[in-house]
Chains A and B, each alone.
Chain A
């Protein structure tokens, strides 16, 4: 939307309407037996819980001065359980049903953009969460009339919980959008349920902990808000990442699906790097930049699995978006579909991250006092571990791509992603299985040097052996770079707009 479009959008505010998906979903939700039944059950449980507490209080000899707090904690447990388990599951199932291959009307036969569809589903989840929170609100407000709980704590905890439910909804939408068969989706839903059990436990412990610490009194402290803001921003970034991934997943296969996620991760990486760098200067301590490196490498290793599964050929619609200008074409190459462009994107981000971190670690001694800096040994360990891990990850991916190209060229490119996982598993578990059959499996053998195993870097006892891993990973990567160079150059050269098209510059 250009500036005139944005202006017209705001001047015509009277014509604003809700996202059609939200209206449709909410209409379906209020009619659904699942939602109505769950809401009724939820209210019944809240009512019975209140009754148990109040009746229990009336038969007690001594007055419970923390009755409000105890009741509130019980309500938080019920609310967290109901909203974290039910709403993401409901939203996820609905998206999965509409994502089916045969059900092409909602996602394709309309002018709704993929982003609007995902936002609609997300808003619907938020409205449903609001419905459950509103149903719980009178009970929670009632606890304020008793002792042991203050209103700021109530509102803060509820807001926190609400945001976590919204993030869980987005993750559920993402899982539902994955192009998997129904059995896999059911398995994924079960895994998600187990994960939500763990999350609910953590949330409840966190919420009760915050109440016991006295949230009301902490709110006057600047550090409290700084921490809350940091958690909020981190949560928003993660939710945003799942949002862009979901949008990419439901975009038509002919679209440039890679652009949005890669751009998002690049922007977040850049902003995170700047923020962490500023933090290093502020606190005169290098931990923040190391955290940025670890987070970046963690995301890039997962991204590798996706990019290596991309097809080489670009569809006509994508090719039409390739700039005719040579320089621009080179610059945008990493943001277009394709395994080669994806590998270049991952490698570039990893290399820049590594170099910048090394610069901060090496020259940082001039900014912060020596006593808070890292020892030489620690710095070497960090450098070796991070560089070797990313070398191994790239080597696995390139090997898988090579195997796919050589032996399964007619199979879909997703095979390369699967091969990467198999390769990681093989080198990680393979030696253990062999040793088990040779009856020589022991903790010592697991802690011992297993060259080629990415995870072994973190478990070996002898730090000097990390160098061996570094050389092996580096050598393997170099070999794969040479083997794949021809393929990469071909993709690089083929990255051209279709002949005779008016491509965008």
Chain B
């Protein structure tokens, strides 16, 4: 399954919610969709899920257009909204069963699908509980189960981790990784960027309806932070050497912006990896008791803060 978003544009009156955005991701990939509030994430996700119609452009799900054949495309997409709508007087099992019926699953096939999803999303123990009585985390599980019950190839999750406790977040993350292993193409939006860094293969950063950065996480990081930051930590009890080390580094080639950061020395390496190797060798030769010499990775949060301006429309 390949999801291709092509020159998508959505206008609400005079407001351009999504402005000519294009990106793609494949089966087995988890793609993060990041942007400030009002950036156009939910609108894009609703267009991919055939809930909203694009003003221009298209989304192809394995070649099936969501604009031309929304009914066919809808069968391939499972949409998980940020909140599970309130349904009174219905149990978890009945709710999932209803969606299985609504998507045309019949007889034994339906029973098996519902049971399998209840097991997978770990809601089997609460299947007779009323939806209204569930916690936020459990509702998210049910919502995910609802989207998965007809086994779609693409999953679109809009802020699934919002309001979840740490345990529920970890469990959700594990579920998503399992789904990716099952060759689902997953698009997930979240404001918890550290978590996205851990699970996503790729990312789209969007602001005011326009894409700011897109690609694999490594590509985006490389593009946004061309210089590598290296951290040096001396053995405990040798921190008194830090000022001396700092002075030394400032005179070393390929080193810029050396600074003391919480008992560590950070500097920007302008050279390649062999330059880093030479620097390390030189410091060891000068009897510095180095316990750690590592490249600090910029995370998605740093990149997000760098590339976005926080603008809304």
Chain A interface (Cβ within 8 Å of chain B)? 15, 17, 20, 23-24, 27-29, 31-32, 102-106, 108-112, 252-254, 315-317, 320, 410
B287 CB to nearest A CB, Å: 66
Nearest opposing residue in chain B for A318, CB measure: B53
Query: How far is the CB of A101 from the nearest CB of chain B, in Å?
Result: 11
| Chain A residues with CB below 8 A from B88, complex form | 28, 32
A315 to B68, CA, bound (A): 12
Which of B94-102, B168-176, B263-271 touches A? B94-102
- Collect the chain B residues with CB atoms within 8 Å of residue A108's CB: 51
A316 to B47: give the CA distance in the assembly, Å.
Answer: 14
| Alpha-carbon gap, A31 to B103, bound state (A) | 24
Q: Identify the closest chain A residue to B71 (Cβ).
A: A111
Q: Does B104 contact A (CB under 8 A)?
A: yes
B102 touches A320 (CB 8 A): no
Interface string of B104-139 (1 = CB under 8 A from A): 101100000000000000000000000000000000
Instruction: Indicate whether A104 sits within 8 Å of B81 (C-beta atoms), given known contacts A31-B90, A316-B67.
Output: yes
Complex: chain A residue closest to B58, CB-CB: A316
Cross-interface CB contact of A105 among B70, B75, B106, B146, cutoff 8 Å: B146
In whole angstroms, how far apart are the Cα atoms of A291 and B49 in the complex? 49
By a CB distance below 8 angstroms, the chain B residues around A110 are 74, 99, 102-103
* 7 interchain pairs, CB-CB under 8 A: A23-B98, A24-B90, A24-B98, A31-B90, A106-B85, A253-B53, A254-B53
Residues of A within 8 A of B89 (CB): 27-29, 31-32
CA A254 to CA B10, docked complex, whole Å:
13
A23-B106 in contact given A31-B89, A106-B85 (Cβ < 8 Å): no
Top 6 closest pairs, chain A to chain B, by CB = A20-B101, A254-B53, A31-B89, A110-B102, A103-B85, A28-B89
B247 CB, nearest partner CB in chain A, Å: 61
Contacts of B53 in A (CB 8 A): 252-254, 315-317
Which partner residue on chain A sits nearest B46 by CB separation? A104
Q: B31 an interface residue at 8 Å Cβ cutoff?
A: no
The distance from the CB of A29 to the nearest CB of chain B, in whole angstroms, is 8
A320 touches B94 (CB 8 A): no
Q: Are A17 and B106 in contact (CB under 8 A)?
A: yes
Chain B residue nearest in CB terms to A30: B89
Contact, CB under 8 Å: B85 / A111: no
- Chain A CB within 10 A, most for which of B49, B75, B98: B98
A111 near B51 with CB under 8 A, answer no
- Describe B's contact surface by its main secondary structure: loop
Using A28-B88, A109-B51 as known contacts, list a sample of 10 further A-B pairs with CB atoms less than 8 Å apart, ordered by residue number in A: A27-B94, A102-B85, A103-B86, A109-B147, A111-B102, A111-B104, A252-B53, A316-B67, A317-B53, A317-B70
Nearest-Cβ distance from residue A404 to partner chain B, whole angstroms: 15
Contacts of B51 in A (CB 8 A): 104, 108-109
Per-residue CB contact flags for chain B residues 43-55 toward chain A (1 = under 8 Å, else 0) read 0000001010111
Residues of B at the A interface (CB closer than 8 Å) are: 13-14, 49, 51, 53-55, 67-68, 70-71, 74-75, 79, 81, 83-90, 94, 98-99, 101-104, 106-107, 146-147
Q: Is the CB of A111 within 8 A of B90?
A: no
Q: Which residues of A contact B90 (CB under 8 A)?
A: 24, 27-28, 31
A111 touches B107 (CB 8 A): no
With A and B bound together, what is the CA distance between A315 and B55 in angstroms?
8
- Chain B residue with Cβ nearest A320: B68
A117 nearest in chain B by CB position: B102
On chain A, the residues within 8 Å of B86 by CB distance are: 103
Give the CA-CA distance A404 to B88 in the complex, in Å.
Answer: 42
Which chain B positions have C-beta within 8 A of A320?
A: 68
In the complex, the chain A residue whose C-beta lies closest to that of B56 is A316
Q: How far is the CA of A110 from the CA of B78 in the complex (A)?
A: 9
B224 to chain A, nearest CB (A): 35
Residues of A within 8 A of B55 (CB): 316
Give B80 Cβ to nearest chain A Cβ, in Å.
9
What chain A residues lie within 8 Å of B94 (beta carbons)? Answer: 24, 27
Q: List the B side residues contacting A254 at CB < 8 Å.
A: 53
Q: List chain B residues, Cβ under 8 A from A28.
A: 87-90
What is the CA–CA distance of A111 and B103 in the complex, to the nearest angstrom? 6
Question: Could you tell me the distance between the alpha carbons of A320 and B51 in the complex, rounded to whole angstroms?
Answer: 18
CA distance A415 to B88 in the complex (A): 36
Cα-based distance from A252 to B52 in the complex (angstroms): 9
In the bound assembly, the distance between CA atoms of A21 and B308 in angstroms comes to 44
A29 to B81, CA, bound (A): 26
| A111 pairs with B81, CB closer than 8 A | no
Contacts of B49 in A (CB 8 A): 109
Per a CB cutoff under 8 Å, which of B67, B75, B104, B107 touches A317? Answer: B67
Using Cβ atoms and an 8 Å threshold, which residues of chain A touch B70?
317
- A15 lies within 8 A of B74 (CB): no
Evaluate contact between B107 and A109: CB separation under 8 angstroms: no
Q: Which residues from A are CB-within-8-Å of B81? A: 104-105, 109
* Residue among A20, A317, A410 with most chain B CB within 10 A: A20
Question: Which residues of chain A are near B68, meaning CB under 8 Å?
Answer: 320
Q: Is the CB of A15 within 8 A of B101?
A: no
> Which residues of A are found within 8 Å of B102, using beta-carbon distances?
20, 110-112
Considering the chains assembled together, what is the distance between the CA atoms of A29 and B49 in angstroms? 30
* In the bound complex, CA of A370 to CA of B104 (Å): 63
| Smallest beta-carbon distance B89→chain A, Å | 4
* A280–chain B nearest beta-carbon distance, Å: 46
- Distance between A198 CB and nearest chain B CB, rounded to angstroms: 31
Q: In this complex, what residue of B is CB-closest to A15? A: B106
| Max chain A Cβ within 10 angstroms of own Cβ: one of B55, B74, B86, B89 | B89
The smallest C-beta distance from A492 to any residue of chain B, in angstroms, reads 23
Closest to B147 in A: A109
Chain B residue contacts of A32, Cβ below 8 A: 88-89
Shortest CB–CB separation between residue B268 and chain A, in angstroms? 48
Find chain B residues with CB under 8 A from A410 CB: 13-14
CA distance in complex: A108, B94 (Å)? 19
Q: How far is the CB of A35 from chain B (nearest CB, A)?
A: 9
Contacts of B106 in A (CB 8 A): 15, 17
Chain B positions within 8 Å of A253 at CB level: 53
CA of A31 to CA of B70 in the docked complex: distance in angstroms? Answer: 35
**Closest-CB distance, A114 to chain B (whole angstroms):** 12
Q: When the two chains form their complex, are residues A111 and B74 in contact, meaning their CB atoms are under 8 A apart?
A: yes
Q: With the chains together, A103 CA to B87 CA distance in Å?
A: 10
Question: Which residues of B have CB within 8 Å of A106?
Answer: 85
Q: Shortest beta-carbon distance, B95 to chain A, in Å?
A: 8
Distance between Cα atoms of A112 and B67 in the complex (Å):
18
Specify which chain A residues have a CB less than 8 angstroms from the CB of B98 in the assembled complex.
20, 23-24
Pick the most buried of B79, B90, B102, B147: most chain A CB atoms within 10 A of its CB: B102
The distance in angstroms between the C-alpha atoms of A15 and B105, with both chains bound, is 10
Collect the chain B residues with CB atoms within 8 Å of residue A29's CB: 89
Shortest B150–chain A CB gap in Å is 9
Q: In the assembly, what is the distance between CA of A15 and CA of B106, in Å? A: 7
CB distance from A120 to the nearest CB of B (A): 10
- Most central of B53, B86, B94, B103 by chain A CB within 10 Å: B53
- Complex CA gap A317/B99 in Å reads 26
A24 — which chain B residues lie within 8 A by C-beta? 90, 94, 98
Provided the pairs A17-B106, A104-B51, A252-B53 are in contact, do residues A23 and B85 lie with their beta carbons within 8 angstroms?
no
Closest CB in chain A relative to B183 CB, distance in Å: 22
Distance (whole angstroms) from the CB of A145 to the closest CB of chain B: 38
Known contacts A20-B102, A102-B85; A111 and B67 CB within 8 A of each other? no
Which B residue sits closest to A502, measured CB to CB? B68
